Structure 1
């Protein structure tokens, strides 16, 4: 019966979609099985549909819905939580070919297809003297659709917010194949429920985004960048808390000693390998304000034991320092396979979170590098392991869960911007609680009664 169904679905896909849009060759399917999280339990899809427009997505969804076949939406495959891991026998709908970007300078908005890279949207906006602020470290290769799916943040989110703050409208293909337009090019619109916001961060479990209207802002002023190194993690975190109590810089990032050394190994920037922690801070206020802000930050870092503080307003020098932070995950990845986390806590508890993670690493005998959007309490613990060592893998898996349990205990979250995906799904109930989880599942069932949209992501079996 399954073979008959699969043949029927494949026949319909090839008949209704443009030539070359449907991939079924084993090598092609292999390339779409995993995202950057390298989920070891990823399945093998029945087919991959490389959509070029909303109508292609609708056709694939309608065909899947007729036979109850799962659909896994996929952008650039840069996700870090297994949100686009393939499911056995499902259809992967790839949005990578949907790359159009149209900027309306008068409205300060852009209409963007989901496959466009974050950096491409930034570049298109800059041609009109505008800026799209959300800036994940993976901006050069992550897609806007993926950013919307996970409500991505980035280095500037401490001042400028996250993806949802810039999404004004969406075109979404629902589980029955209908395409609906939500919101639009209006800065204020409270007619009806805020359905646009509901789909941002839903990881393709409620619908597939095929177009987004994004808010742009005037181009960012040339920032001044400050780097401070500390002999203790506690000193760096205390500085972060005091800086945020007094002001909101445009960037406030943290790297621990493991990360500093990994970046230095890869980039050779003469970073201080002996430092326990490093902060990278930016101010993009007008020059006279930025000068005072940077001076105050420098004093705060000094009060908390910084051994070196360096500030620059040279654009090239600033970008080189920021690139060190952007390359943190690839640099640590050179030390071994990674289990990547994305836990956050209220800012005053950031120190307790990092101390707790260090204790977990010691108890489990694994290495945990920590890089963080420190200004908003969002950390990225990177558990380094040898995947060929079964015992180390087992200890790393235990550490992975213990880090999330620690974040929950401290009043935090199991994910700040990478999404739950499939890898963090087992801890969702502990975080949400029974009543809120039941409300989530009620919404999921209402919009996707067959559970065909990204089955297993966020909610697990429904």
Structure 2
């Protein structure tokens, strides 16, 4: 439909001018995110919005012409939730990157959606404040994207996911109207909680153009890091469950299984491992890392060390910030270690914390059954596992993710849900997991959620390929 496309582009350029791009390199860039998924679709255009007015104009034109719109921030998603879809406008809000206000007295900040998570914390640090949500991509991910996916991170077990830090939003609806949800107050229960509904909605209900977020005082004192090596992942998972059962809430509680730990050790090499718990690593051993913070950090770390030692762990405790950082580097090396071996599909399931040993056993059985190595890193403090599927770069014409990998992933997702868990703890549904969404929700909730979307987006133009559309093939 060349005439329709030309007419659409003419309207966009007439209202938005240089904010509209149809350059091939720009269109190509928005076909992918950090999940490794490359959309087969090429968008009609990318609109680089710099203001609320730009977003409203784009949505009014999209509604008038029936054109799909895919909201996009920094493009750091891991579920294909902001990749181009057929005939769509990609609405890039990354240029809306101003910190509008920091209110020290009321411990809040007002930001545009393109503000980078780490940049907000850099601005808060001199004031003794911080923004607690900490996705691993915080140095490059935007707060709008964090909110759209309800992003998590290492500190979730103690400080919660992004939803707990969002007080209010400004959102442009599908027809271009601007609404404001939530409050600047600590409490507020008037009407339905549309702020919570928008958080995690992955751009399917509206476009976030401003956020009022909760900030808090930086924890006092120096954090203390505790690491322990266990004979196997089941023992490590049981030890992590013992920590939470003791009602201790470390800021960080991370677990690496034997496969992942072996890859990290190989990647870092003997010189970097000298003086760490991995210096004398035996086959099959797993790694548990905890970090405490605040005024009671030393006492909590001592209690955790005792629990891990009594569970059979070989325990190491930091003596200062530098030794703590060395221990944290082991955990941070997981994804670079896997990426060095090939393509990586980073998955995301969550189960009740008491079910972690069972989920690790299920993953091992699934990997053996399909002949797939599945290294796992886990936010053990909240039961969120990241199984990683590592595979060779596909040949031209072959699927980006081999079918046997999707078959193993299918079993893994179903195993997590069967244990009382969920398909995704923090990455979102996006395109990659939409095939399994109805199975978890059930028919009644599935239809109810689709009906909610229809209220906000009656023409179905907002991110139509994400979440609810049935996916062709095995989860792609």
- Does residue 279 of structure 1 match 2:278? no
Q: How does 1:32-51 map to 2 (within 5 A)?
A: 32-51=30-49
| 8 Å CA contact retained: 1:110, 1:216 | yes
Aligned to 1:211: 210
Corresponding pairs, count:
457
- Does residue 410 of structure 1 match 2:437? no
Aligned to 1:373: 379
3-state SS of 2:374 partner: strand
State the 1:110 CA deviation. Answer: 0.8
**Which string of whole-angstrom CA distances, capped at 9 and with x for unpartnered residues, describes residues 404-454 of structure 1?**
011111110000000000100000011000111111001011111111100
Q: For the residues of structure 2 that align with 1:266 and 1:146, how far apart are their CA atoms?
A: 31
| 8 Å CA contact retained: 2:111, 2:210 | yes
Match of 1:55 among 36, 53, 56: 53
3-state SS of 2:46 partner: strand
Q: For the residues of structure 2 that align with 1:166 and 1:42, how far apart are their CA atoms?
A: 35
Moved more, 404-413 or 118-127: 118-127
State the 1:99 CA deviation. Answer: 1.0
Q: How does 1:252-401 map to 2 (within 5 A)?
A: 252-268=253-269, 269-270=272-273, 271-272=278-279, 273-274=281-282, 276-286=285-295, 289-306=296-313, 308-388=314-394, 393-401=402-410
Q: For the residues of structure 1 that align with 2:150 and 2:384, how far apart are their CA atoms?
A: 13
3-state SS of 1:282 partner: strand
Match of 2:458 among 431, 441, 449: 449
State the superposition RMSD in angstroms.
1.7
Q: For the residues of structure 2 that align with 1:72 and 1:313, how far apart are their CA atoms?
A: 48
Q: For the residues of structure 1 that align with 2:229 and 2:96, how far apart are their CA atoms?
A: 43
Residues 444/64 of structure 1: CA separation in 2 closer, same or farther (3 Å cut): same
Q: For the residues of structure 1 that align with 2:186 and 2:88, how far apart are their CA atoms?
A: 38
Structure 2's unaligned 5+ residue stretches are 472-476
Structure 1's unaligned 5+ residue stretches are none
| 8 Å CA contact retained: 2:434, 2:470 | no
| 8 Å CA contact retained: 2:166, 2:213 | yes
Aligned to 2:106: 107
3-state SS of 1:368 partner: coil
Q: For the residues of structure 2 that align with 1:93 and 1:55, how far apart are their CA atoms?
A: 13
State the 1:292 CA deviation. Answer: 2.5
3-state SS of 1:20 partner: helix
TM-score (norm 1): 0.95
State the 1:311 CA deviation. Answer: 1.1
Aligned to 1:241: 241
3-state SS of 1:33 partner: coil
